[in-house]
């Protein structure tokens, strides 16, 4: 099943896949790279049993797929990659109930904040090509629509770049190659009336 097929209509499986904070974090990680539950457990700092349980649910929801297996210390380790994004397009996002949208925003913002704090306390912003900007705008309706369209296009291209990178790394002999772990955060929202211009 392709990403487009999963995202045709508001697929309840995708809502279920993203409906738990740990599943959302796993799906984000598997959109970045191929990984096993054991690797995800270490990366996310979560017990292996919990990660394995939520990986199973994501597989049942057709949000991830098994890529390969490998023998590890007398057992077989399973490696997965995402086939769904933790993203709804604008049309399908508006079809979600407000309570679901708020819950998904809350989960996402919490994860973003944790990662930003960890990056700022470490070396995450030391690369000269790291980028942080903040632009407050006053937009008319046409400008607002143009901004939404521009950001959607930027997100689509970012996802394409990520998928191309994952495919190159998956095709490499050891299933891994040199990589940079980065994050891209796009936010566009209505400022409260009291915020500065």
Q: Where do the domains of the chain lie?
A: 3-171
Q: What is the pLDDT of residue 3?
A: 37
pLDDT in tens, the chain (197 residues): 333 333 444 567 777 777 787 888 898 889 878 999 999 999 888 999 999 999 999 999 888 999 999 988 888 999 999 887 766 667 777 777 787 778 778 878 888 898 899 999 999 999 999 999 988 899 999 999 999 999 989 988 988 898 888 788 777 776 556 778 888 898 888 888 776 65
Angstrom distances, CA of residue 99 to CA of 19, 85, 91, 162, 195: 11, 20, 17, 30, 25
* Contacts made by residues 67-75, CB under 8 angstroms, sequence distance 24+: 67/34, 67/170, 67/175, 68/34, 68/175, 72/38
Q: What is the pLDDT of residue 89?
A: 67
Q: What is the CATH number of domain 3-171?
A: 1.10.10.10
Residue 80, CB-side half-sphere exposure with 13 Å CA sphere: 27
């Amino acid at each position: 099943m392709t990403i487009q097929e999963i995202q045709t209509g508001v697929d309840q499986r995708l809502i279920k896949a993203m409906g738990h904070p740990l599943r959302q974090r796993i799906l984000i990680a598997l959109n970045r790279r191929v990984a096993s539950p054991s690797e995800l457990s270490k990366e996310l700092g979560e017990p292996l049993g919990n990660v394995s349980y939520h990986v199973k649910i994501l597989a049942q929801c057709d949000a991830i797929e098994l890529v390969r297996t490998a023998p590890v210390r007398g057992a077989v380790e399973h490696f997965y990659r995402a086939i769904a994004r933790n993203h709804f397009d604008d049309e399908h996002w508006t079809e979600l109930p407000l309570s679901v949208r708020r819950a998904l925003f809350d989960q996402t913002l919490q994860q973003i904040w944790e990662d930003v704090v960890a990056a700022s306390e470490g070396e995450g912003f030391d690369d000269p090509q790291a980028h942080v900007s903040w632009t407050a705008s006053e937009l008319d309706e046409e400008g607002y629509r143009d901004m939404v369209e521009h950001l959607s296009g930027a997100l689509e291209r970012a996802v394409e770049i990520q998928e191309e990178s994952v495919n190159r790394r998956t095709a490499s002999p050891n299933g891994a190659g040199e990589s940079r772990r980065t994050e891209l955060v796009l936010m566009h929202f209505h400022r409260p009336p009291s915020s500065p211009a």
